Structure formats: C-alpha cells, structure tokens
Amino acid sequence: MLIHSIQAAAERLNQGDLVAFPTETVFGLGADAENPQAVAKIYQIKERPSNHPVIVHLAPEADLSYWAKQIPHEAELLIKAFWPGPLTLILQRAAHIPAAVSGGQSTVGLRCPSHPVAQALLREFAEQRPNGQGGLAAPSANKFGQVSPTASQHVMNEFATEIAADELWVLDGGASEVGIESTIVDLSRLGEGVPATLLRPGHITRQQLSEVLGYEPRNKDAAAPQVSGSLKAHYAPKTLLQWLPASEEAISALIQSMHGDATVTAAKWAVLVFDPTAYPAEYESVDYIAMPRDPQQYAQRLYALLRDLDKQGYARLAVQPLPEDESWEAINDRLQRAAAAFEG
C-alpha cells in the first residue's frame, strides 16, 4: 500500500512491521532496528543472507552514544561535515543493540539521511517510543542483489506480492536526489591502530573525506567489517549487462561479432554511451543512450534507467567505460558489481 502519512508509517514500524521510505540516496526498506523479529522480516522479503549487515538510519538529533560504544574524534569530524547526508559510519556497536542489524558482527552502520520525509519519519518513530530513541534498519528496498529503487513505483513493482499481502507499506516522497547508495567509512578499528577505511564509495568522495580527516582513508582490507553492497556481484539489472571495449574499433568489432551470434541475432541491445565521439557506425539492432558527462547526474539517472531498460525487452545492455578519476569511483564500483553478476 502506498501511503503519505508519517504518523501511520511510524506506528506501523513501532508495531514491528515494514515500511519502505525515501532517502536522498535510494529508497530504504525500513524496520525497527531494535526489534530482531522486525529486522528478520527485511531479510525474508529481500531474500537477503542473514550475515549481510544493514544500515541503521537515525534522526539528526539522535543520541549516537545510544547506538555505538564510543564516538571517536574522526566520527565527530565527518558527522559535522556530512550529516545529514549520504555517509554511513561503521562504529563499534553498543551492547544492547541487537546483532541482527550487523550480521552478527560487533559493529554497527549508522547514517542520518537528509531527505525531509525520511527525517520526519525518523523523528516521529523515535517520539512514539518510551525512551525517545529510535532507529530504522533500512537496506535498499529491492530484492537482494538487484538494482536499488529511486522512486516509490520501483518499490511497488519490486514487492507487488508482499504489498498485496499487506506485508509492506510504501511511504511516498518523490524521487531520490543522489541515486546511488551512501559512502561507507569504517571507524570501528581506530583503537587497533587502523585508520579510517573506505568500504564503499558513494556521493561523498575520497577527496572530500580526506579534506575533513586530514588524511586519505585507506582502501578496504581483508579484515574490514562486512557492509552492505560489498559483494562482488551486486546492483544488477535483470538484463545481461557488460562493459564495452574502450576504442571505437573494438566496439564496432564486438557489435559485428554479436550480429553473427545466433543468440542475439535480430535482438536489440542498448549501449550506455558516455562519450558521443566514440559512437561507432549505426546498427539497426543497437540503441545508443547518451549518458550525462557529470558524475552526479550520471548517478542520479543510472538506476531508474536500468529499471526502465529491463522492461523494454533488450537482449543485453552495455556500458562504455567511464573515467577512472575519483569523482567516478562510486559509479564505476556499482557498474563493475552489476557486470560481475553476469560473468561466468
């Protein structure tokens, strides 16, 4: 059911049920973070592995010490600079916070979204609780491993069966402004001498983090906590997606070879092109889609476009390689994981 009432949504969440809600990144599938049974419902309808952690969303005035054992100085710096906003911090989880939100780990992912509907919901949810503390566990509102939703209709399409069975409500709030998931920074190992670690790139770039921290966050290592969206194959559309070769000659050769492939003959495929000057000769069975040359605009459009292309019957999708500078790091990350879902 699609709803517009913040109060009704908060009441449902406090009863242990699920509500999908908008954030500036993507729509989240929300449940009471302190109710393991409610969190289990998220895993069930997403078909998500139980050891894959979720992110807890908090209102701007939330008491972080309720959720984390300690708030290190680096966290205070990043919070001042980027909250509310698309940044998730990994901290050591307070003892009374259920391990269900962290996949059994000792850590917890915390984020304060900037979307006004999300903030209103989080405030109302907390106000309805006896101690005034409340957080929503909210991974992206899609089946596990698929493209994240950036509009309420995406959620309605994804969970039509669950919505019809009244297992899920959807709180409307317009399209997500950022369009890809939050940046995730691990601060849980500072006490062990491990500096801030970038676990997932996002809208907030490595350079922006460096300017606030005073040093560049290190890359993810084998001992880092597991976090949302960290699997090799993730964010995948239903239609086969692959990278294109970099040169015009290689692109043309690939298209010509595919025309000789019986599995794709007479089947259309779409090419997401970043650089119009690299267009090869036109082919009847290929649709070229010009993508924004600005990384923020590209991110904002990407997921909605992939969902739309999934409905158009293409045999496959292809993506022209993007710049490798850090402003494109998050988009490259998402597309690499999406393509990995189709690698043999």
138 annotated to bind ligand: yes
Separation between Cα atoms, residue 91 and residue 281, nearest integer Å: 52
CB-based contacts of 62: which residues, under 8 Å, 6+ apart? 112, 122, 126, 133, 135
CB-based contacts of 61: which residues, under 8 Å, 6+ apart? 123
At which residue do the structure tokens 């993507």 appear? 26
> CA torsion sign, 105 to 341 to 246 to 331?
negative
At which residue do the structure tokens 């209103």 appear? 120
Q: Inter-axis angle of helices 206-213 and 73-82, to 10 degrees?
A: 120
Q: Amino acid identity, residue 75? A: A
247 annotated to bind ligand: no
203 annotated to bind ligand: no
107 annotated to bind ligand: yes
Separation between Cα atoms, residue 77 and residue 83, nearest integer Å: 10
The answer to whether the beta carbons of residues 103 and 146 sit under 8 Å apart is no
Q: Is 34 helix (H, G, I), strand (E, B) or coil?
A: coil
215 annotated to bind ligand: no
Other beta carbons less than 10 A from residue 198's beta carbon: 22
148 annotated to bind ligand: yes
Nearest to 237 by CA among 330, 332, 313, 320: 313
Nearest to 239 by CA among 308, 300, 323, 175: 308
Separation between Cα atoms, residue 273 and residue 109, nearest integer Å: 35
Nearest to 100 by CA among 31, 156, 168: 31
Bridge partner list, 273:
290
182 annotated to bind ligand: yes
314 annotated to bind ligand: no
Nearest to 42 by CA among 139, 157, 163, 110: 139
The answer to whether the beta carbons of residues 72 and 195 sit under 8 Å apart is no
5 annotated to bind ligand: no
Known binding residues for ATP are: 48, 107, 140, 148, 200, 235
Q: Give binding residues as ranges.
A: 25, 48, 57, 107, 111, 138, 140, 148, 182, 200, 235
Task: List binding-site positions for L-threonine.
Answer: 25, 57, 111, 138, 182
